[in-house]
Structure formats: structure tokens, C-alpha cells
Amino acid sequence: AQSVAQPEDQVNVAEGNPLTVKCTYSVSGNPYLFWYVQYPNRGLQFLLKYITGDNLVKGSYGFEAEFNKSQTSFHLKKPSALVSDSALYFCAVRDSGTYKYIFGTGTRLKVLA
Amino acid sequence: KAGVTQTPRYLIKTRGQQVTLSCSPISGHRSVSWYQQTPGQGLQFLFEYFSETQRNKGNFPGRFSGRQFSNSRSEMNVSTLELGDSALYLCASSAETSGKSDTQYFGPGTRLTVL
């Protein structure tokens, strides 16, 4: 079965420091991986996705993600965190058989001023 | 293009009642999925409709049902509401023109409170 794991419930980082939100996946076949962000009382907003090609994917708001096939990881990164980046982040993979999107449990990012 | 819209945004019901939530996908999108989000359980998949047919289903009781119309708009219905049904219900749509790489876009959600 396809799955994603977000090992950290919460990540704290100081403003201006680089941030990383971790995601690992388990799929059969080629992975289609996504990152979303959710601000309070809002729906999820798409940040970026990996389909194929370059292992470093660039997305919205200065975020990027690194796809690592050998480690089955798709970590979200940003070189310099902003307080406004504080939100809930979800990693997702699309099941190649059923087409379902499978979401991780979410990681709460807190950027401290 | 307008984004995914959901109505109503907020809803208060009492136990035993039923409720219908509506979702209008992005124009041209053929797939609509529904999710339940609660603080304790996270994001739980309810079901997905594609071209008016239910393509996928999550592990929810039969009180939760949905449908999709020919214009791709979707509704979900919850009958005999329970306190535990209080949640943010999210709708998401995708075009399904590029296969598995398509991105799902979410609406703002409907906040349902069951008293």
C-alpha cells in the first residue's frame, strides 16, 4: 500500500534560519508527490509537486523540495524562514492504482521572531 | 479562473439532523474529492467522484454519502448527525487530464458544528 509519513508533529525555527519539514513515502511504481500548506481556518493550498526530472522542485512562496529516491524522501525546504510561514504543512502521494491522494498527518511549523 | 467554492462556509446543526454540503470545482475539473479534517484525526478521505461516478471511497459509515452532477458540481450528505461529525469538510478538485500527476486544489471548507 502506498503511504506517506511526516515524522515530526511540530517544527520550530527562528526567523531568517533555513527550515526543513520532513516527508518519507512508500510507493510502488513512480511516485507523484505533493506539498500543501494550510493556514488557520482555511483550505489547503498547493505549494509544489514532483512528477519526474530534477530532484529539486521549486514552488510557491520561496519553498522548494528535494526528492531523494534512495532515501524515499521528499523534504520541504526554505532557505530563510518568515514568521508568516507558520502554518500546517501536509505531504501527499498519489496512489498509482486507485488515483487516491494519500496525505500525511501534517507538521505544524512555527517560525519564531 | 475561479477556485473551488464551498457552501455554506459555516453550519450549526443538532444531533439527529441531516446536512448537505455543496462544492463547485474549478471550471473544467472532472474529479471532486471530499475530506474530513478534525484536530484528533487529521485529514480523512471520504470519497471521490469522477465523471459522476464514485471512483474511490474512504472508511466512513453509510451515513456519509455524496454525488456529482453532470456539471461536475458535487454534494455530500450526512444523515443522523452525531457530535463526532463536527469537523471542517474540505472539497478538492483536479482536472484529470494529465493522469496521476494532476494537482488537487482545495476549497476553503465548510465548518460543521453538531450540538
Question: Given this model, what pLDDT does residue B82 score?
Answer: 97
Give pLDDT tens digits for A5-60. 999 999 999 999 999 999 999 988 888 999 999 998 888 999 999 988 889 999 99
Q: Is B25 on the interface with A (CB under 8 A)?
A: no
- In 3D, which of A38, A28, A20, A27 has the Cα closest to residue A77? A20
Minimal-distance CA residue of chain B relative to A95: B100
Minimal-distance CA residue of chain A relative to B109: A43
Average pLDDT rounded to a whole number, residues B54-80: 96
- % of chain A beyond a pLDDT of 70: 100
d(CA B107, CA A59): 20
pLDDT classification of A95: cutoffs 50, 70, 90:
confident
Average pLDDT rounded to a whole number, residues B2-26: 97
Q: Pick from A46, A57, A89, A99 the residue to mutate for testing the B interface (most B CBs within 10 Å).
A: A99
Minimal-distance CA residue of chain A relative to B47: A100
Contact between B16 and B6 (Cβ < 8 Å): no
Kindly report the nearest CA distance between residue A5 and chain B, in angstroms.
Answer: 13
Q: Which residues of B touch A91 (CB under 8 A)?
A: none
From chain B residues 68-87, the ones with a CB under 8 A of any chain A CB are none
Q: Which residues of B touch A6 (CB under 8 A)?
A: none
Question: Given this model, what pLDDT does residue A13 score?
Answer: 98
Question: Given this model, what pLDDT does residue B63 score?
Answer: 97
Residue type, B62: G
What does B42-84 look like in DSSP terms, one character per residue?
EEEEEEEEETTEEEEE-S--TTEEEEE-TTS-EEEEE-S--GG
Question: Given this model, what pLDDT does residue B24 score?
Answer: 98
Kindly report the nearest CA distance between residue B18 and chain A, in angstroms.
Answer: 23
Q: Pick from A41, A44, A48, A89 the residue to mutate for testing the B interface (most B CBs within 10 Å).
A: A44
Contact between B77 and B17 (Cβ < 8 Å): no
Question: Which class for B42: exposed (0-12), middle (13-18), buried (19 or more C-beta within 10 A)?
Answer: middle
Q: Is the pLDDT of residue B56 over 80?
A: yes
